Amino acid sequence: MGARRRFEIPDGWIARGFRFEVEPTTPEQWSRIAQQFGGRRYAHNWALAQVKANLDARAADPAVAPLSWNFYDLRRAWNHAKQDVAPWWRECSKESFSSGIADLATALYNWSASKHGHRAGQRVGFPRFKARHRDRGRVRFTTGAMRLEPDRRHLVLPVIGRLRSKENTRRLERLVAKGRARILSMTLAEHGGRLHVSVAAIVAHAPRT
């Protein structure tokens, strides 16, 4: 069991988050975005179905081997099965599927920790299947072509392409250009019909004079 391993921030750097409202630059980008959101939901639901089937089998027969809930093991199982269960998988970024599986691994870890009294706060329930009408579209990119454009008005995401930012990205783009910031991930999310990109970065800490 367990979620994805946490990134260790190097000495002399601090974690920073930036958020920009964006809009597509071409009409076909809407369908690409919908595909990424759908791919995330599909991988999440597929992995959850495997976990539930294993739990049911073990309840009926304790001799059945437990299925690992580790993010890397679940992703490995998905990569072995995707050609059969999702022959359209090439239409999506691999990060779409990883996002869904990572979310599930974290939810399973929190549920297990809460169930066994290892997690403080309100009790966490068992993960639910994600339906399109009640799941907020979201996909997280950690690899591939993701960058801020020098014009400080556009950013690029894998598969989706170039999006226009409604806010100036100068504050972050300048730090990246000077080598004083490094982008770790970009998360595209929809809320209320609007699209936002949340950028997780590490920034070189400037000591006080």
Share of the chain above pLDDT 70, in %: 95
Question: What's the chain's average pLDDT?
Answer: 90
The torsion defined by the Cα of 103, 106, 111 and 113, in degrees rounded to 10, comes to 180
Whether the per-residue pLDDT at 3 is higher than 60: the answer is: no
pLDDT of residue 120: 77
Least confident segment among 9-13, 56-60, 142-146, 167-171 = 9-13
Please say whether the dihedral angle defined by the alpha carbons of residues 124, 128, 133 and 135, taken in this order, is positive or negative: positive
> Locate tokens 């070189």: which residue?
204
Q: What is the largest CA-CA distance in the chain?
A: 66
The average pLDDT across 30-36 equals 94
- Rounded CA-CA distance 24/163 in Å is 5
- Rounded CA-CA distance 168/15 in Å is 20
- Rounded CA-CA distance 160/187 in Å is 12
Residue 206 tokens, joined? 């400037």
Task: Give tens-digit pLDDT for 95-114.
Answer: 999 999 999 999 999 998 88
Cα 91 versus chain centre, distance:
17
pLDDT of residue 136: 85
pLDDT of residue 123: 84
Confidence label for 20 from pLDDT (cuts 50, 70 and 90): very high
Confidence label for 119 from pLDDT (cuts 50, 70 and 90): confident
pTM of the model as a whole:
0.87
Confidence label for 140 from pLDDT (cuts 50, 70 and 90): very high
Q: Residue 65 in contact with residue 55, Cβ under 8 Å?
A: no
Share of the chain above pLDDT 90, in %: 73
pLDDT of residue 11: 82
Least confident segment among 5-9, 98-102, 143-147 = 5-9
pLDDT of residue 193: 86
Task: Give tens-digit pLDDT for 45-91.
Answer: 999 999 999 999 999 998 999 888 899 999 999 999 999 999 999 99
Cα 137 versus chain centre, distance:
11
